Amino acid sequence: MGTQINLSIKHPMADELLEKANHMLVDYEMRFSANNSKSALMRVNQQAGIQPVHVDSDLYELIQFGQKYSLSSKLALNITIGPLVKLWKIGFTDAHVPEQKEIEERLKLIDPTDIELDDVKKTVYLTKKRMELDLGALAKGYFADNLKKFFQSEGVQSGIVDLGGNVLTIGENPKYEDGYWRVGIQEPSSNRGDLVGAVLVKDKSVVTSGIYERSLNVSEKKYHHIFDSTTGYPIENELASVTIVSDESIDGELWTTLLFGLDSTAAIHYIDSIPGIEALLITKNNEVKMSRGIMPYVVLF
């Protein structure tokens, strides 16, 4: 998945359960990957403009969820962003700034209304050739939630699922008397592992997305991997990172993406009106802004 994964649980059969969880993650990557030509998701992409493709119910569910929010968010989230991502290739060795004409061509292919879903047959059809789905903005959250459900179904009452920037806690932390897990918040302008602080949680998800994760530097200008579906370029605003605390990890993935389209003041004002969702934002000037509900649970270093 292009990241370091750490799973830790407290259970008499921990080794066996962790091995099963590892197989689940390998299976997810094989089926949901936008970079593996043999994945189920890529079969959908390869048949774009040709014919519908039947997919497993879990992949169908995530595509359905992604299309819903791609439409309702007015493209702040866009699961048809694939052609644009693969044009820029930020995060890969051949990353580059494309020609404007190339960008404009790709913009014609990133419309979620061009996804046709059949709930009965569980088929997905991309109506234009060269369209490509990319579930990278949602997939890790979906995987984390399913891993937590699996662990809990096996009786796990304490553990942590860390999918690189996506942390989902199970129950209480046995190492601390107060039972809280301490989840670090990356300092955006510093080296990996340098933290601006930590958020204390129990049985919650903590998802952080930042412009520092993958970037491209050209002629003293820095381009990151979070794209604006209307311009074809990386989003330009004051935000450097967004951290969301929620019950489910997929909600954290969703809201980190949605908030990147807003300025920090508007984002915090919006989140304060959403029950069950809390946010911590860091601007490019290293200013930290928090929603009301998260403030008592954040320790800044």
pLDDT tens for residues 7-65?
Answer: 999 999 999 999 999 999 999 999 999 989 999 999 999 999 999 999 999 999 999 99
Residue ranges covered by each domain of the chain: 157-300
- Angstrom distance (rounded) from CA 66 to CA 134: 10
> If we measure between CA atoms, which residue out of 214, 213, 201, 212 comes closest to residue 161?
201
Stated pTM of the model: 0.94
pLDDT tens for residues 141-199?
Answer: 999 999 999 999 999 999 999 998 799 999 999 999 999 999 999 998 777 778 999 99
Please say if the pLDDT value at position 2 is more than 80. no
pLDDT tens for residues 103-137?
Answer: 999 999 999 999 999 999 999 999 999 999 999 99
Residue 225 has a pLDDT of: 85
Q: Which residues contact 27 (CB under 8 A, 6 or more apart)?
A: none
- Angstrom distance (rounded) from CA 61 to CA 76: 20
* 56 Rama sector, left if φ>0, alpha if ψ -120 to 50, beta otherwise: beta
Residue 141: its H or E element? helix 139-153
Encoded tokens for 79: 């699961």
Residue 215 has a pLDDT of: 79
Please say if the pLDDT value at position 140 is more than 90. yes
Residue 6: its H or E element? strand 6-9
Helix axes 264-271, 249-259, angle to 10 degrees: 140
- Angstrom distance (rounded) from CA 66 to CA 137: 9
Encoded tokens for 246: 């929620």
Max Cα–Cα distance, the chain, nearest Å: 59
* 23 Rama sector, left if φ>0, alpha if ψ -120 to 50, beta otherwise: alpha
The CATH architecture assigned to 157-300 reads: Roll (3.10)
Residue 214 has a pLDDT of: 78
Average confidence score pLDDT of the chain: 94
- Angstrom distance (rounded) from CA 89 to CA 95: 4
Q: Which residues contact 291 (CB under 8 A, 6 or more apart)?
A: 268, 271, 272, 277, 278, 279, 280
- 284 alpha carbon, distance to own chain's centre: 20
Torsion sign (Cα): 240, 73, 1, 152? positive
Residue 231 has a pLDDT of: 95
pLDDT tens for residues 205-257?
Answer: 999 998 887 778 887 788 888 899 999 999 988 999 999 999 999 999 999 99
> What percentage of the chain reaches a pLDDT higher than 70?
100
